[in-house]
Amino acid sequence: MNKEKLVYGGAVIVGVSLIAALLVALVLFSIGASPLATYKTILTGPLSDVFGVTEVLVRSVPLLLVGLGIAISFRSGILNIGAEGQIQMGVLASTAVALALPGLPRGILLPLVLLAGALGGALWGGIAGWLRARLQVNEILSTVMLNYIAAQVHTFLLRGPMLDPNELETGSGTPQSMRLPETAFLDQIVPGTRLHTGLILALVAAVLVYVLLWKTTLGYRMRAAGAGAKAARYAGIPVEKYLVVAMLLAGGFAGLAGAVEVTGVHHRAIEGISSGYGFAGIVVALFGMLHPGGIVPSAIFFGILLIGADMTQRSAGVPANMVLVLQGVIILSIVSAQSFLRNPYAQERLFRWLSGFRPKKGAQP
């Protein structure tokens, strides 16, 4: 990515954020909250102490991993909306492996658990990829449906076969799995907080995704398939195959995010563990211009937003669903801005329309 493009892209993102903030301010206004105070709480509240900063980073780890996967799939021309379900499958697979093999030494168990999570997610994403490649099933619809299915599988397993036996005997029947063996925990980076080494893992993954997409043949072919399927096919690239690969990778990253949540934060599978990371990941990826270099700051920014939204719910009574509204508005503004900027005719028309307000003497209509 060259410098001009970077500045240009950055300007677009800033502009889009401002537009989105203005639109959401209308909503805040209508529910009687002060937009300025709310934004101030959201943006500065989480960063006011060390604990807040570590919590932001804890949230941005899954966002970063999911966002990377989604960037791979979007770049390859397949729109993966199913990260939510893929996370849940990753959670289930990694928990199952950790609970099944508690005796293994840490050096083997932990990588195995993370791998299992990635495989669980990859399987779930791969289904949608295969359906698209072989049967031309629209991947947006199939991934959305797979989300609902995964949610039910998750609930079923946590309430049935994987339910913690202690919950049945003595507990309140909370649907959650047994606690993982400690050998399957990720280390804490800052003692006393929840910040774990998953952060390092996610940052390494960001570098790897960059290398994959821009420095390898596989990545080049995937991007080619996404940029123009027809042209790629003429160049001898089996587009369908790369669609499946892209969905396997996207699902794998989402599944890994689920595994990292289990091993780093909750140490067991619980209900609501993915808490919207799958959808937020789409916005993170688009906001980061589908490039790892942009997705890292974008994941941190949305980490701030998520924590900040929780804070405003407590302090200002603004429901945390507000984040969903913000995400929706940001998506709509980003895709509008991008296609507008890619289209010189539309810009010309806008300028013509704008200059219509200040007609110059002798100007042609």
Partner 1 sequence: MNPEVMIYNVLSLAVPFSVAILLAALGENFNQRAGVFNLGCDGIMCMGAFVGFMLPYSLKAGPLAPYGNLLGVMGALAAGALLGLLFALVTVTFRASQGIAGIGLQMLGWGLSGTLFRHFVGGVTGVEGILAMPIPYLSRIPFLGGVLFNHTPLAYVAFLLVPASWFLLYKTPWGLKVRAVGTHPRAADTMGISVDRTRYQALMLGGAMAGLAGAYLSLCQARMFSDDLVAGRGFIAVALVYFGRWSPLGILGGALLFSIAQSFQLSMQVWGIKFPYEFAVMLPYVLVIVVLALARKARQLGPTELGKPYNREMRF
Question: Which residues would be at the binding site for partner 1 (CB under 8 A)?
Answer: 27, 30-32, 79, 81, 131, 135-138, 140-142, 144-146, 148-149, 152-153, 155-156, 159-160, 279, 282, 286, 317-319, 321-332, 335-340, 343, 345-346, 349
Report the nearest approach of partner 1 to the CB of residue 138 (Å). Answer: 7
Name 270's bridge partners: 176
Task: Compute the distance between CA of residue 97 and CA of residue 90 in angstroms, rounded to an integer.
Answer: 11
Please, what is the minimum distance in Å from the beta carbon of residue 319 to partner 1? Answer: 4
Could you tell me the smallest distance in angstroms from the CB atom of residue 232 to partner 1? Answer: 18
The distance of closest approach from Cβ of residue 291 to partner 1 in the complex, given in angstroms and rounded to an integer, is 16
- Rounded Cα distance between 185 and 94, Å, is 12
Residue 115 or residue 144: which is nearer to partner 1 going by CB? Answer: 144
Shortest gap between Cβ of 151 and partner 1 (angstroms)?
8
- Which residue's CB is nearer to partner 1, number 115 or number 324? 324
Q: What is the 3-state secondary structure (H, E, C) of the chain?
A: CCHHHHHHHHHHHHHHHHHHHHHHHHHHHHCCCCHHHHHHHHHHHHHCCHHHHHHHHHHHHHHHHHHHHHHHHHHCCCCCCCHHHHHHHHHHHHHHHHHHCCCCCHHHHHHHHHHHHHHHHHHHHHHHHHHHHHHCCCHHHHHHHHHHHHHHHHHHHHHCCCCCHHHHHCCCCCCECCCCCHHHCCCECCCCCCCECHHHHHHHHHHHHHHHHHHCHHHHHHHHHHHCHHHHHHCCCCHHHHHHHHHHHHHHHHHHHHHHHHHHHHCCCECCCCCCHHHHHHHHHHHCCCCHHHHHHHHHHHHHHHHHHHHHHHHCCCCCCHHHHHHHHHHHHHHHHHHHHCCHHHHHHHHHHHHCCCCCCCCCC
Pick from 157, 103, 62: which is nearest to 112 by CA? 103
CB closer to partner 1, 264 vs 281: 281
Identify which of residues 33 and 97 has a Cβ nearer to partner 1 in the complex.
33
> What is the rounded CA–CA span in Å between residue 48 and residue 68?
28
Contact 80, 250 (CB under 8 A): yes
CB of 136 to partner 1, least distance (A): 6
Pick 256 or 309: Cβ nearer partner 1: 309
Q: Nearest distance from residue 157's CB to partner 1, in Å?
A: 9
Q: Which is nearer to partner 1, 265 or 322 (CB)?
A: 322
For residue 41, the minimal CB distance to partner 1 (Å) is 16
Identity of the residue, 56 or 283, whose beta carbon is nearer to partner 1 in the bound complex: 283
Owner of token pair 């954020």? 17
Which residue lies nearer to partner 1 by CB, 155 or 315? 155
Nearer to partner 1 among residue 234 and residue 345 (C-beta): 345
Q: How far is the CB of 204 from partner 1 (least distance, A)?
A: 28
State in angstroms the smallest separation of the CB of 144 from partner 1.
Answer: 5
Report d(CA 24, CA 16) in Å as an integer.
12
Rank residues 263 and 274 by Cβ distance to partner 1 and give the closer one: 274
